[in-house]
Structure formats: C-alpha cells, structure tokens
A and B are shown apart, each in its own frame.
Chain A
Amino acid sequence: MKRPFRTVQRGLAISWLSLLIVAALLAPSTVPTPDLATINQPPFHSTHWLGTTSQGLDVGMSLWQGARTLLLVSVPAALCTLLLGGFLGGIAGYWGNTGLRITRTQLVLMVAGVGLAGLLLSWFPGAGGWPWLGVPAAAGLGLLPWRNKKPSTNTWPFPVDSSILALIALVNSVPLLVLVVAVASIQRPSLAGVVALLSLTCWPTPARLMRAATLQSRSQPYIEAAQAAGLPAVRILWRHISPNALPVLLVRFPLTVAVLISLETTLSFLGVGLPPETPSWGRLLAAVRQAPANWWLMLWPGLAIAFTILSLQYIATSKEGE
C-alpha cells in the first residue's frame, strides 16, 4: 500500500524541484521595477496575478526571480560547504592526532602565516576577506607534503584531529542562526558574500560525517597496505578513501541545500545578506510585516519555501533509505 504513495510523493518532489530549476534558469535577469501606482494589489484582481507588495513589486515575478536567487545561493554554498567540510573531515580522520608530523620550519611558517593574516586584518580593516586567505595559505604551505629525501627526525606530531574538532566545537558553540545573522549584518550585502558566509558557517556537519567515514575506511587492510607501500597521503585520501566516504556526503547534499535555503530565506526575511533589490522569497515574506493584512505576501512565498524544503528532505531521506 505504501509503495504507490511513496512513488507519488517522489514524483511530486522531483517535479517541484525540476520546475524550480527550470524556472530559475528561465527567470529574467533584470532587476524588478517597483510600480508605485499598483501597491498592495490582491491576487487575481489585475494583471498582477499573484498580487503586489507595498513597494509595488509583482509577487509572481519576485517568486520567479527569487527561485534563481535561491539556487544561486544555496547550490554553490552547499557545494562549498561539502567541499570544505569534506576536506577538513577527511584530513582529521586520516591523520588523527599523530599521523602528521611537521618540521620546525613548517611550524614557523604556519605561525607566521596566521600572525601575518592577523596583522593585515588589523592594519587594513577595509581589505575585506583577502587577509583571511593568509591563514589557510600559510597553513597549506606549512603542511605541504614535501618529499624529503631524508626524513627529518626533528619533527613533532601535529594534532590535526583535535584542532579540527576544536574548530567544529567553536563554530557549533554559537547557534548557527545567531552566528550567520551576526556576521551578515556587519558585511556589505552581496550574493557572493552570502555564499561565502553560509559556506564558512555550515561546514561542521559534513566535516563530522566525512571524519567518521574516513576513520572507518582508515582501518581497512587495503589502506594499511597502501600506507605500507609508501603511497603519499594525498593519493591515499583521494584514490582509496574518498570513493568510500563521498557517498555519505552526496546523500547529505539535498539536506544541506534545504538547510541553506532556510538560512537564506531567514537572512532575507531579516533584511540582511542579500542586496535589497535582489528578488528573494525571504524578502517577499518579510513584506508582510509592512502590510499584515496582505495575506498573499505570506501565502505564495510560504508555500514555495515549504514545498522546496519538503521535496529536498524527502529526496534526502529516501536516498538514505536506499
């Protein structure tokens, strides 16, 4: 009895998401023009089929263009989140606290890189996010798996796992929404900024998943064999661990997109993150605060958000079931 119902549910979810993607791809790229002569028009009473906002924006057009904004934010942010979380979780799981040994030079380079980034930030606060790149750049430089012909005996184990777990605990110690809203309210509104912000705050969950999957794979005999054969760590991670661990992340993808859509609409509802002229479902939903009697401002974007998130969640859970 349950099978036909599930098939219908699945069909509806896929149809809705397909419709959303097609609508986003076909949406006009021009910024909607407010028509102040037709504010607060109810649906089906004029040429504005789904009504207008108190700023004279057509609800139907805003929904259509908002779908594109939704995809432009959530899909790249989800990819970045999974990549960042996957990378950090992978190296944490593979190296643990003793697997990576670094030399004094590498340690000095890392500390200097972090210090330099801090100095740049304090000296040039207007330099945007560029100095932040110094931290991973320096860390990456320091951790480069140089092929030392003569392995140095003067090395220390670098606690990669503990460091990344501490970072996860640090990010998780602040509620996600509070963290995102706080950072979004101080940065200049932009699409790229929202993508970066969401990526930098939502990576802990995929990182934990990837770490667990890597830990599981690391103890397999074929990994031990690869290590014994002297294969480089990067190659083992890429060729032998990730094929087994990546499906865990891929199943997570629709759920991550759903979470990011919720966050993006929340940010837009609060009026932070995206530029005010960018059409967004959250911004459309927020318009009801200026005109509480305009039910259509709540109904259409509310339904669209609910359908999208439910569809993504259904697909994610059905994938997990499979």
Chain B
Amino acid sequence: MKHLSLRFFFLVWVGMVSSCTTPATYSAPGTVRIRWARDPENLDPLVVSNTSAYEVINLTHCSLLMGREEAHDFVPWLAEAFPSVERLSDSLLLVSYRIRPEATWDNGAPVLAQDVALTLKVMNCPGLPTEMDQAMFGFIRDIRLDTADSRRFTLVCAGQSPEHIRSSGDFSILPEYILDPGRQLRTVSLTAMRQQPVQAAVQALARRYQRLRLARHPENLPGCGPYRLSAWQSGRYLTLHRKPKWWADVLSAPPAQLQAYPTTLTYQVIPDAATATLALRRNEVDIYGLMPAAEFTRLQQSAEDRKRLAFYTADSYEFLTAGFNVRRPVFQDAATRKALCFLFDVPALIKATQQGAAIPSAGLISPRVADYYNDSLPLPVFSPTQTVGLLRQAGWQRQADGRWQRKVAKGAPQVLRFGVSYRAGEPAFETAALQFRAAAAAIGIEAELRPTEQAVLSRQLQAGETDMCIRNYSGNPFSYDFTALLHSRGIGASNTMQFSSAVTDRLIEQITSTEDKQKKKLLLRKFQRVMAQEVPFSVLYFQKYRVGASRAVGRVPVSGLKPGYEAARIRPMEAPL
C-alpha cells in the first residue's frame, strides 16, 4: 500500500513537472504569431474601435478600394479597377464600380452589386450602431444597379470632392445571402431606409444583424477576405485561418493587396512592452510591431538577438500631438495655446523616447511629403521665456504667489490651471507630460497630470471633458481630408479639440474639393499656416514604426500605415532557420 501511494505521488509529481515546463516555442509551418498590445474588443464591421479590430476586419472582409502606401493612393481591391467618375450638376458625383468577376463568398456565390447595396442599407439601418459609418460615408446618397451587369453599380455621392471618390470604396462589403436571405431589402431603396415609420423589412434586417452578435462572434458573418476567425479568447489571443479556397487564388499574378500567404495568423495580446520583447526573444511570437524605440535599439545592438531577429523601420504618418480643448476658458485664445507649446522640448523628447529616430514637424503634414509640407513654418522650440512673453500678451499676470491669473469681464479672475490627460501606460506620452509639467511648474503654471485608461479617455475626449491631451493621430499620404479632425462638423465625434473657425472650415472644404495639385499644395500650405496661428494642437513629431521579427518568417513587408506591417503578405519560410 505504501509503495502504491509512493508511485501515485511520483506520477502526480512527474505530471506536474511536465506540465510546468516551458511551452513549445515553435509554430506550425505557415503560421505567423504576432504580438498585439490590445485586444480588438469589438469585431462588428460597423464598429471598428481600435487598430487590432481594424487589422482583423481587413483580413476577413474586403472593401472595394484599399489605401496602399507604395501606390500613394487607393488601389482596387474587390473592385475590378479604379472607379469611373461623372459629375452631375454642381453638387453630385456619380462613382461607378465593377466588382472583380473572380470574387465569391464562402458559399461559392459571386460577390455582386446587390451585396454592396445591402451593405449600404446596413450602414443606414435604424437600430444598428451606424454612427461612425454615417459620419464617414454619409455622403453616399444612393446606389444605382446596372440592370445589364450584376457586378456593376454607381454610387450617387453628395458633393464633388475627389476625396469622396476614394472614400466611397473604403467600407467592408457584407454578404446579402446571410443578412437578407429572403432578398426582401431589394425592394427598399437606400433613401427609404431612414424614413419613418420604419418598414418591416428594415426592422427585420436590424433584428437579424443584432442576432448575429458580431461584436463577439464575427464568424457568424464571414466576409470575402482571405481569412476566417477560428478562435478568440478576449485579452489573450485571436487566431485567423486562411481559407483553403479563396477567390483570389485563381489569379495568376495577384497584386499585393490580393496576396495572402500565411495559413494561420495568431495574434497574442501582450500589453506590456517588456513582456512582449521577452516573448519575441524566446521565440514565442514572430512579429512585434510598433516596438518602443529603446527596446528596438537594445535588441539591435545585441549580437545574439541579431542572429535570430530581423529589424525593420518605416517612416509613419503617425504623429504625437498636444491638443487643447478650445472650449475651456483658459484655452479660448490662441496666444495662450501657442505660449504653452513652447514648453515642450521636442528635440530632447525625440532623443529620450524615440532614440532620436523621429521627425519634428511644424504642422500636421509629414515633412516627408515635401510637396504639401509648409517648410516656411518654424519648427517647435523649447523656450519658457517665449511662453512668459506670450502669456503676458494674452492678459495673464503672474501673482505674488507665483501663479498666473487674468481678469475676465464677469466673475472671478481666471487661474492658469489645467489637467494634462494621456493614455496610461504609454511611456512616450508620460515622458512628454512629465517634461511639460516640469517646465510649466518652473514658471508657475499648474498642470495636473491625468493618466487615463484608454476607453475612459476616449469617452472623455468625445464628451469634451479633457483640458489638454497628449495623444497620437494617424494620417496617410493619399488623403488630406481634415473634416473629421478639425472641421466644425466633426465636433462631438473626432474633433476632440472642439475647434472650429470659419477660415479653417472653408479651407478644409476647399482642400477636399480641389483636384488641381498645384492649388491643393497652396491650400494645404495655407491651412498649415493658419493652424500654426490658431494652434488647436501642437504637433511634436512624426514617429517611425519599428518592427522586430523572427528570421524564421522571412522578410516582413513593412508599411508606414498602421499596424506597420502587412501580415497577409508575409511568406513564412518552409524550413525555419
């Protein structure tokens, strides 16, 4: 009996030891493991809430056009070619597309114009979360289907902005056979979707869409992209499997946007940067995108790591800003905002947080885009003396206790005191905030640092509850539509600075409506000059994307657009090193 129990305990011990050993640090052939800092949280194509969700949606669904950095423009994706355009009267634009004949859904049915029509109806369906789509694609007023060709259709767009031509193809196309199997919506026009009372067919569509519970179960609505979701543990990992027969496989020489090589893409959520670096070094992930500069440099300098890892950088269109809520009384005048911008020591911040690898900018267009960047504007400089001078010009007086006050027409005098919000756990933001606070405190300005959790910060920004916010914005080299960010129409949505002026509104509209490159160049330069005077935010620098990758996955195509790499175009090596 004694021997039996000893053997039993020995077996238990062996079992426990074997279960505690280091997990296998290799992946199956064709698999690419990618580190994510955040969980996608919501995979409903109507509600793309963060970069991770955007990445998954772009791998599981296709849109008509896709923005590509190499092309410096949008390129046809599900569309056969770039759309033809016709201007109707002074205010309408007809954008005609034809869908690729090879494009099919998972059930083998072709992707047709009716699918695009249904997608637009979903984007206008009452009872669904369509706010974002309304803001971005509200200019699409109608769709006209070609009776002779089931793949051809024309979008009727309000306004004649060239930006609308590109934007008109930038939404995921959803399958009609799942969302409207009875084809009841075919008789309902796009304009009738929002009419009251809501039609029974429209209500049925909303109910059907909600029943799919796409936020957590995107597999209920498979798109026509190359991958399908096979597993998702919130906050831990997400796995996508390549469709064995994807429609673009029949193309003999598929363009870059229709290439998809890895058989499995496994995304591992590792919020902490140091843990993610360790995972990369231990071969537990293959790709670490948006790597912090210090970690990237440290690994690059290590001979051992250089043997197993490859390092890539790409100049991005993402920039760090310090934005002001211009509705706050202390920030209502441009002079005060401008004065505070002199308290950021941008060269030192670039050196400290980006290891010197970032580009300071005078405006919100990257200095790399030489045609549009206004190089006559001065770069931001660190000068508390200028801050003091400008504050005095703005009516602020330093009191005996060191604080700044100014008299207002009614009520008690204003005190120059405000909060600086930023996303908690982001070292670059925190360093900028600490440096700013120290510089402000040295001249008597009270700035309270408020590191805030991402979801709470987003809500506060939308509600206009922040004072000053340090955050990133992403841009691209092919669209210069600042409507959402800085137009008065964007207030309450993406215009978190609550900024608006008649001059900038007009300029934004002119920029989006002009096709003449020379005129656009002049307008964009003028816009940057006006922004430098108004200062709703100060651009600190444009950063680089850094990607660390295992050599086992071969060459990683990198990009200046988020997430900094093209996962579908990675060709995992047959025999890993």
**Chain A interface residues (CB < 8 Å from chain B):** 31-34, 36-37, 39-40, 54-56, 185, 188-189, 271-272, 275-277, 288-293
Inside 8 A of A36's CB, which chain B residues have their CB? 345, 348-349, 351-352, 431, 435
Flag if B438 contacts A34 (CB, 8 Å): yes
Stretch at the interface among B185-193, B363-371, B447-455, B525-533: B447-455
**With A36-B351, A188-B450, A275-B449: A291-B434 Cβ-Cβ less than 8 Å:** no
The reply to whether the CB of B273 lies closer than 8 angstroms to some CB of chain A is yes
The reply to whether the CB of B41 lies closer than 8 angstroms to some CB of chain A is no
Flag if B352 contacts A289 (CB, 8 Å): no
A277 to B441, CA, bound (A): 11
The reply to whether the CB of B272 lies closer than 8 angstroms to some CB of chain A is yes
Inside 8 A of B352's CB, which chain A residues have their CB? 36, 39, 54-56
Closest Cβ neighbor of B302 among chain A residues: A293
Give min CB distance, A77 to chain B, whole Å: 22
A33 to B345, CA, bound (A): 13
**With A37-B348, A55-B430, A276-B433: A271-B451 Cβ-Cβ less than 8 Å:** yes
Contact with A along B256-286 (1 / 0, CB 8 A): 0000000000000000111001000000000
Closest Cβ neighbor of B277 among chain A residues: A292
The reply to whether the CB of B395 lies closer than 8 angstroms to some CB of chain A is no
A174 to B571, CA, bound (A): 47
Interface of A is mostly: loop
Inside 8 A of A277's CB, which chain B residues have their CB? 434, 437-438, 449
A33 interface neighbour in B274, B433, B442, B450, Cβ under 8 Å: B442
A289 to B295, CA, bound (A): 10
Flag if A290 contacts B427 (CB, 8 Å): yes
A289 to B272, CA, bound (A): 8
Closest Cβ neighbor of B274 among chain A residues: A289
Give min CB distance, A283 to chain B, whole Å: 10
Flag if A55 contacts B434 (CB, 8 Å): yes
B451 interface neighbour in A31, A189, A293, Cβ under 8 Å: A189
Inside 8 A of A34's CB, which chain B residues have their CB? 431, 434-435, 438
A292 to B427, CA, bound (A): 14
The reply to whether the CB of B425 lies closer than 8 angstroms to some CB of chain A is yes
Closest Cβ neighbor of B452 among chain A residues: A188
Give min CB distance, B345 to chain A, whole Å: 6
Please tell me the number of chain B residues within 8 Å of chain A, measured between CB atoms: 29
Give min CB distance, B436 to chain A, whole Å: 10
Could you list 22 A-B pairs, sorted by A, with CB under 8 Å?
Answer: A31-B437, A32-B438, A34-B434, A40-B294, A54-B352, A54-B431, A185-B453, A188-B450, A271-B451, A276-B433, A276-B434, A277-B434, A277-B438, A288-B274, A289-B272, A289-B273, A290-B273, A290-B294, A290-B427, A291-B298, A292-B298, A293-B298
Closest Cβ neighbor of A30 among chain B residues: B441
Inside 8 A of A272's CB, which chain B residues have their CB? 424
Inside 8 A of A271's CB, which chain B residues have their CB? 424-425, 451
A205 to B430, CA, bound (A): 37
A293 to B453, CA, bound (A): 27
List the 10 shortest-distance A-B pairs measured between CB atoms, nearest first. Answer: A36-B348, A33-B438, A36-B352, A289-B274, A276-B449, A55-B431, A290-B427, A39-B352, A34-B434, A292-B274
Give min CB distance, A63 to chain B, whole Å: 17
Closest Cβ neighbor of A32 among chain B residues: B438
Closest Cβ neighbor of B349 among chain A residues: A36
Give min CB distance, A84 to chain B, whole Å: 29
The reply to whether the CB of B292 lies closer than 8 angstroms to some CB of chain A is yes
Give min CB distance, A238 to chain B, whole Å: 42
Inside 8 A of A56's CB, which chain B residues have their CB? 352
Inside 8 A of A293's CB, which chain B residues have their CB? 298
A33 to B424, CA, bound (A): 20
**With A55-B352, A271-B451, A276-B451: A31-B441 Cβ-Cβ less than 8 Å:** yes
Flag if B424 contacts A290 (CB, 8 Å): no
Contact with A along B397-431 (1 / 0, CB 8 A): 00000000000000000000000000011010011
A185 to B457, CA, bound (A): 13
Give min CB distance, A294 to chain B, whole Å: 10
Flag if A290 contacts B274 (CB, 8 Å): yes
Q: Supply 7 further A-B pairs (C-beta < 8 A) apart from A54-B294, A275-B448.
A: A31-B441, A33-B442, A36-B351, A55-B431, A55-B434, A276-B430, A276-B451
A275 to B425, CA, bound (A): 13
Flag if A290 contacts B292 (CB, 8 Å): yes
A304 to B424, CA, bound (A): 26
Inside 8 A of A291's CB, which chain B residues have their CB? 294, 298
